[in-house]
Amino acid sequence: MKSVSHHQATQLLHNKFIVVLGSSIMRSVYKDIVMLLQRDKYLTFKQLKSKGEMSFEQDCLVEGGCLGQMHNGTEYREVRQYQSAHHLVRFYFVTRVYSRYMQSILEDFRSGLKPDVVIVNSCVWDISRYYSKWIIDYKENLHQFFSALREILPEESLTVWTLTMPLGEGIRGGFLVPEIEHKASQLRFDVIEANFYSGTLADAYGMDVLDLHFQFRFSLQHRTRDGVHWNAIAHRRITSLLLQHAAQAWGVIMLCPMTAVENRGVPKQKQQQQHQHHHQHQQQLQLRRPAFVNAFNPPDQLRSRGSFYNGGYSEEFSSDALPFNFMNFQENNLQPQTNHNEAAAVYSRQQNRNGIEYKHHHHSEPYNELQHQSVMRSRHSRNHYAPYTHQRPKQYDRHGHYY
C-alpha cells in the first residue's frame, strides 16, 4: 500500500505536540501515528487489539489501563504518551465528549503545554451508554466541548474533529454491554445522524472536520468482524488523511504517495502477484488515458519519486475528495478551479526538498529557511465542512445515475 512515508511524517510533525482523544478506534489512530514516526510498517493485529498495555513501540502508559482495573465501563481510563527527541504524542481514552474527566483534560491544556494538533472523536459511547434519547444531551455536550476547546487553545493550534466511521449491521464490541445489545441494529443509523450534528457544530465553532464516514464508505472490506473496528491498512489510510490535512493547513505540499509500507505477514509470492496485477492495471489506464491528461505529463524526476502524479492522472482523478483548490476561498465568489494545466505548472515550479515541497500559504507567516530546514509552521486556514459533496459530472442530466 502506498501512503505517507515515515520520513515525511517525521518532517511534518517535527517539534510538534499531538493529542489524540477518543475511544478504541482513536487509540489505534494514536498507535499508527507512533508506529509511522519510527518506521514504515503496519500495526499487527495483536497491537490493534491490545489495550491498556504497559508499553507499545517505546511509548509508556501514564495512567489507567493495566495500572488500574481493566473493564468496559464508562469510567475506564487510559492515558498513553510517546516522546522522542522531536516528537510528543499523547492519547486520552474518553467515553463522553464532555464530562468531568474531559474538563480535567482541558485544564491540563490550560495550565500546561498547549498541543499543536488535537485529533478528537467521541460518538458511539455517547449515543449508546448514557441516554436512550441521546440527541439533546449529545448536542449540549458538543457545544460545551467545542466552546471550551476554542477558549483554551491558541489560534495556531490545529483541531481536527473526525466523524465516526461506518458501523456494521451486526456489531459487537467492548462498549456493547448486555444492557444495550438491543440497540445494536439501530446504532449504525444513529451514528450517521450524530455525525451530521457533530460535523455541523464543529464547523460552526471553527474546527476542522475530517469525514471518515464518507472516506471509508466503499472500504468496508477493511472493517473487522466485530463491525466496529478496522484493520491496519485502514488505519494507515486514516493517518495519511490526517497528515495530508495538517500539511494543507500549514501550507506544506507533500508529494504522496512516496513509499510502500512493508506487508507484514503477506507471502512473498502473493506480493509479487499483487505487484504484477498493479502493473497490468497501470498499463490499462495508460491505454485509456484521455487526451487532455497528456497535456500535462509530469517531469521524469517527479514521476520517478512517486509524487503527486499517478500514471499521468492528477490526484483529483483518483480520489473521492474534492479536487485540490476546488473552492477558492480567497474570493467572495466560490468557483471551481478548472485550469488543470495551470495547476500542474504551479506544482512543477515548487521547490522540492526531502520529498516535501513548501509553499507560502495565503495566511502563512514568513518562512525563514535558515532557522527551519525541515519544517514550516504557520497559522492554518480552516477547511470548510461540506459533507458528502463532490463535483457532479456534466454529462449526466438532473435525473441521471452516475454512481
Q: What is the pLDDT of residue 199?
A: 96
Q: How far apart are CA 288 and CA 65, in angstroms?
A: 54
Q: How far apart are CA 80 and CA 82, in angstroms?
A: 7
Quickly state the pLDDT bin for 294 (edges 50, 70, 90).
very low
Q: Tell me the pairing of strands 356-358 and 351-353.
A: antiparallel
N-to-C CA span, the chain: 25
Closest by CA to 60, choosing from 34, 37, 42, 86, is: 34
Cell numbers at residue 312, please?
499521468
Q: What is the pLDDT of residue 231?
A: 96
Q: Is the pLDDT of residue 402 over 60?
A: no
Residue range 2-259, CATH number: 3.40.50.1110
Q: Is the pLDDT of residue 39 over 70?
A: yes
Q: Is the pLDDT of residue 204 over 60?
A: yes
* Range in 42-46, 164-168, 176-180, 255-259 the model is least confident about: 255-259
Which residues of 268-390 form beta strands (DSSP E)? 351-353, 356-358
Give residue-wise pLDDT tens across range 177-203: 777 777 788 899 999 999 999 999 999
Give residue-wise pLDDT tens across range 6-19: 999 999 999 999 99
Say if CB 159 and CB 189 are below 8 A apart. Answer: no
Mean pLDDT estimate for the chain: 74
Give domain limits for the chain: 2-259, 289-354
Going by the DSSP 8-state scheme, the letter that residue 106 receives in this structure is H
Helical spans, DSSP H, in 131-264: 135-152, 184-204, 212-215, 232-249
Q: What is the pLDDT of residue 178?
A: 73
Longest dimension (CA), the chain: 63
Non-local CB neighbours of 402 within 8 Å, separated by 6+ positions:
392, 393, 396
Q: Is the pLDDT of residue 149 over 70?
A: yes
DSSP assignment of 141-166: HHHHHHHHHHHHS-TT-EEEEEPPPP
Say if CB 382 and CB 208 are below 8 A apart. Answer: yes
Say if CB 106 and CB 152 are below 8 A apart. Answer: yes
Give residue-wise pLDDT tens across range 56-68: 999 999 999 999 9
Q: How far apart are CA 7 and CA 351, in angstroms?
A: 17
Quickly state the pLDDT bin for 383 (edges 50, 70, 90).
low
Give residue-wise pLDDT tens across range 257-268: 544 455 554 455
Q: How far apart are CA 262 and CA 304, in angstroms?
A: 19
Q: Tell me the pairing of strands 208-210 and 351-353.
A: unpaired
Q: How far apart are CA 132 and CA 180, in angstroms?
A: 9
pTM: 0.68
Q: For a pLDDT cut of 70, what percent of the chain falls above it?
A: 62
